[in-house]
Amino acid sequence: MDRWKREGLLSANNGLRNQVEHLLDAYERKQGQLAEAYKQREAIRAQANSPDRSVEVTVDSDGVLADLTLTTAALRKTPDDLARLIVDVVQAAAGNVREQHQALTAPVAAELDDMPELSDIMPEAPSLPGIRAYLRGEQNPPG
């Protein structure tokens, strides 16, 4: 191999190495943000009340009912009306959780959209599409 060809390959190799190092540095910086976003996302809880305040609910970060409070006014409703009211209030609280998830994760997900797929370079690296999907609430945490 002649000297010019070898120097060209070395230069290309150095350029690729610099790109990979830059990508890894960017990913490591995002890793802390992702960990914090996951932690905050899992801590989200939301409350909602019926318009007459006879039903109050709290849902967890998955929108699952965690607490239910009924007043005596709620107990005077027909079973069907009370059931419908509870479902409506739980759905409102779950919608609030989804909005909080979106507000929390949108900035991090947008930054990830601008990053190349790390697993293309390092097969053992986590999938950025999987992380993005989780942040958008489309799937379970990447494993």
Which domains, ranges and CATH numbers included, belong to the chain? 3-135 (3.30.1310.10)
Looking at every residue in the chain, the average pLDDT score rounds to 82
Residue-level pLDDT at 127:
67
Predicted local distance difference test score (pLDDT) of residue 28:
75
Residue 46: what pLDDT?
A: 96
Whether 52 and 88 have beta carbons less than 8 Å apart is answered as no
Regions of the chain where pLDDT drops below 70: 1, 12-13, 15-16, 19, 112-132, 134-137, 139-143
pLDDT score at 1: 67
122-124-127 Cα angle (round to 5):
85
pLDDT of residue 77: 97
0.75 surpassed by pTM: no
